[in-house]
A and B are shown apart, each in its own frame.
Chain A
Amino acid sequence: MTSGTTTHAPAGSVTRDVPAAPRRRVTKRKDRAGYLFLLPWFIGMLFTVVPFFASLYLAFTDYNLLNHPQWIGLGNFREMLDDPLLRQSLKVTFIYTFVSVPLSLVVALGVAMVLNQGIRGLPVYRAVFYLPSLLGGSVAIVLLWRYVFGLNGIVNAFLGWWGIEGPGWTSDPDYALTTLIILHVWTFGSPMVIFLAGLRQIPTMYYEAAAVDGASRWRQFRSITLPLLSPIIFFNLIQSLISSFQTFTQGFIMSGGTGGPADSTMFYNLYLYQQGFSQFHMGYASAMAWMLLVIIAAFTALNFLAAKYWVFYDN
């Protein structure tokens, strides 16, 4: 309709206005549809935004939970520069994130690919592999780790057969973080389920066509699976990155909330929690929270920029 009007209209200032009017109406209608779909989310933001900005305000105050917050400007942030435990917690969190995220995603994708080949008993395997994610943070399971990873635990008994004397996997400060990374990879079930769902959305005709052309399996993986799965890989990457930067429960339960042994599992969020709820430094904790937000946002933004080169959307 719009194109029709432009071609027949004579040159002049009027012509530019003619197509503009309906386009604005179209945009408005589009806007309205978009906003309508987002309506629940907009209302929900009211619940989210109020606490969100309250915590931003608290980041600039001295707030002990019991008395009114006192404005101290950048005081909390200045204190953060000179806090060795904060540096330690950043170190722990970065190591954990950059080792466990790629590791668990590769394992999850690998297992999902194997399971997607029409294997017999797929539902059973899928359920079994997903099981650890169901149990993950339960109190009962943490007790088990002590028997599995203890100095006289199952892992060390196994190593003992090969003549290796294993360490105290959870009590030795040199090994505790490694143990947590292993446990994280063990719960690869969640990304695996998402990968599986994504793999199922790839139309089989692509593979059929490729098979006719005589493409190898690796070639099919590179040229069909990876690009078509890339939005899902990207989702899993962003999601694991964000949740891994925010790791709390694992560190909390394993060390009983201390971040020990010797601060070796002192995750950023665990330290933040200690500051806020054990030491009543909620102002400082809020400042820490906003610094984490900036760090996570930076990494997420980087990924979104990089996504332009490897994530493939059909549009």
Chain B
Amino acid sequence: MVDRLPRSVNRRDVIRVAGLAGLAGLGLSACGRGFGGGDDEPEGGAVQLNMVWWGDAKRAEKTQAALTAFQAKNPGITVKTEYQDSGPYKDKLATRFAAGDPPDIMAMRMDSLREYADRGALLDLGQHGGAVDLGGLSDSARTLAEVGDKTYGVPAGLNAIGFVVNKTLTDKFGVTIPDGNTWSWADLAAFAKQVTQASGKKVYGTAFEPATLANIIVFTRQRGEDFYNAEGGLGISEATVVAWFEMINNMRAAGGFPPPGFIENVGASAEQSYLAKGAIASQIIPTNNFLSYNAAAGGNLELLRIPGETQGARRGQSVDCPHLWSIASASKHRDEALKLLNFLVNDVEASKATGTTRGVPPNSTVAEEIKPGLQEDDQLATEYLAGLQKESLPRSYTYPPGSSKIASSLATIATEVEFKRQTPQQAAKAFLDAGRKALGK
């Protein structure tokens, strides 16, 4: 039959294809990776925990070091880990839960905590009393994952938002930075305008995302309202939304805030930021990123509190966390997972290994103990958090289910206002309507 093959597919081609297939076969039998029978459980009664989180390779290396220490102390337990970037992580987690194949212990976003918890997918740590000792956590930290009388996770680390100012630029333009503990939003506006004017419009005084929830939440709390209230509804008033957008519009009109379309929504890392490029002189950042922003922006950033903390009805800042550790209620190895969680939260060695990759350790004693070993910028961020935790801040409530819709509708109306397609009044009304609909209240 081969003899009768037409010219255009000659024997050499056939041999080549066969050779290629043979090579592939050899490659397979040589390594055989990926062609086994699925997940292998370890033999001999050992327990294998599956732990997942998001982050980059560096965070993984640090976490792995902590897990190695854990496994050395607990010979019967091995931990199989997996990590991705935050977006894909979220999709895979949801898929695994939906298919009934959840990990044992996982990084949980604050804004999806209750999507899982309210549907019974997460373990209530309160039911397992002493298994995870939360005694070392401040009130602000402990209540972060509290829903009613249940606790569905422990902060993997703590952070807050802070205002950073590039001192190199302000020195260059001869603008003095207001007192970071007591400045008001009006001070910020005046400062920003000064910078822009002194630089001849080459550098804008300040820029931050009006639609980032953490930012507007501080402003809301300062006005005596809760963005999300204890009942899981929207507590923010129309007047506050209007005030927020009018304030930013005014700063923009005065020149302190960049024109519409200046801030792109792609990428949020320190290196890509306009602060690093010297196009703006100040912005809001999560405090756990202070080190990377300072490195990217030339090493002369000053970390201030958010404006308006001493002028408002009450304190606005709150202690937050990059993510929680939660345990799946369907986990087959609950006790071991709880043990690991307790180790991550309370063991000094664990936090020494992980450092500040997920923010300041939630256990205050542990945080103090690892502080001397940290880089200077991380020490500063740790002190910032320690300071906040010692003060009495109004309690914040968990994001109710449906809150992702609220975040996206806030982003939409913020752009509408930015490009003057809607007035702050129209936008506020549209936002509250959409928000109430999303929460079903």
- A interface residue numbers (CB < 8 A to B): 64-67, 142-143, 145-146, 150-151, 167-168, 170-174, 254-263, 274, 277-280, 282
The answer to the question of B368 belonging to the interface, with a C-beta cut-off of 8 Å to chain A, is: no
24 A-B pairs within 8 Å (CB atoms) are namely A66-B121, A67-B119, A143-B267, A146-B264, A151-B259, A151-B261, A151-B262, A151-B264, A170-B265, A171-B260, A171-B263, A173-B415, A174-B419, A257-B87, A258-B265, A258-B408, A258-B411, A259-B408, A260-B411, A262-B412, A262-B413, A263-B412, A278-B404, A279-B402
> Are A171 and B262 in contact (CB-based, < 8 A)?
yes
B421: which A residues are within 8 A, CB to CB?
173, 262
CB distance from A192 to the nearest CB of B (A): 24
On whether A143 and B94 interact (CB within 8 A), knowing A173-B421, A262-B421, A279-B402, the answer reads no
Question: In chain B, what residue has the closest Cβ to A262?
Answer: B415
Question: In chain B, what residue has the closest Cβ to A253?
Answer: B266
B265: which A residues are within 8 A, CB to CB?
170-171, 255-256, 258, 260-261
> Are B419 and A172 in contact (CB-based, < 8 A)?
yes
| Interface size band for B | 20 to 34
> Are A143 and B97 in contact (CB-based, < 8 A)?
no
**CA A170 – CA B91 in complex, angstroms?**
25
> Are B266 and A254 in contact (CB-based, < 8 A)?
yes
Main secondary structure of the interface of A (DSSP, over half): loop
Interface string of B85-123 (1 = CB under 8 A from A): 001001100100110000000000000000110011100
> Are A274 and B97 in contact (CB-based, < 8 A)?
no
Kindly list 19 other residue pairs between chains A and B, CB separation below 8 angstroms, not including A168-B262, A171-B264, A278-B404: A66-B120, A66-B121, A146-B272, A168-B261, A168-B264, A170-B264, A173-B421, A174-B419, A256-B266, A256-B267, A257-B87, A260-B265, A260-B411, A262-B412, A262-B416, A262-B421, A274-B408, A278-B405, A280-B401
B419: which A residues are within 8 A, CB to CB?
172-174, 261-262
Question: In chain A, what residue has the closest Cβ to B416?
Answer: A262
> Are B119 and A64 in contact (CB-based, < 8 A)?
yes
On whether A279 and B405 interact (CB within 8 A), knowing A254-B266, A261-B415, the answer reads yes
CB distance from B248 to the nearest CB of A (A): 16
Question: In chain A, what residue has the closest Cβ to B417?
Answer: A262
B402: which A residues are within 8 A, CB to CB?
279
Question: In chain B, what residue has the closest Cβ to A139?
Answer: B85
From B115, B266, B415, contact of A142 by CB (8 A): B266
> Which of A171, A172, A258 neighbours the largest number of chain B CB atoms within 10 Å of its CB?
A171
A262: which B residues are within 8 A, CB to CB?
412-413, 415-416, 419, 421
B413: which A residues are within 8 A, CB to CB?
262
B266: which A residues are within 8 A, CB to CB?
142-143, 145-146, 170, 254-256
B120: which A residues are within 8 A, CB to CB?
66-67
Question: In chain B, what residue has the closest Cβ to A172?
Answer: B261
**CA A170 – CA B265 in complex, angstroms?**
8
Question: In chain B, what residue has the closest Cβ to A142?
Answer: B266
> Which of B87, B405, B408, B413 neighbours the largest number of chain A CB atoms within 10 Å of its CB?
B408
**CA A258 – CA B264 in complex, angstroms?**
13
A274: which B residues are within 8 A, CB to CB?
404, 408
B264: which A residues are within 8 A, CB to CB?
146, 150-151, 168, 170-171
> Are A171 and B261 in contact (CB-based, < 8 A)?
yes
A259: which B residues are within 8 A, CB to CB?
408
> Which of A174, A256, A280 neighbours the largest number of chain B CB atoms within 10 Å of its CB?
A280
B98: which A residues are within 8 A, CB to CB?
65-66, 282
**CA A66 – CA B118 in complex, angstroms?**
10
A257: which B residues are within 8 A, CB to CB?
87
> Which of B90, B91, B265 neighbours the largest number of chain A CB atoms within 10 Å of its CB?
B265
A-B pairs with lowest CB-CB distance, top 4: A168-B261, A262-B415, A66-B119, A65-B98
B412: which A residues are within 8 A, CB to CB?
260, 262-263
> Are A172 and B260 in contact (CB-based, < 8 A)?
yes
A151: which B residues are within 8 A, CB to CB?
259, 261-262, 264
A171: which B residues are within 8 A, CB to CB?
260-265
**CA A145 – CA B267 in complex, angstroms?**
11
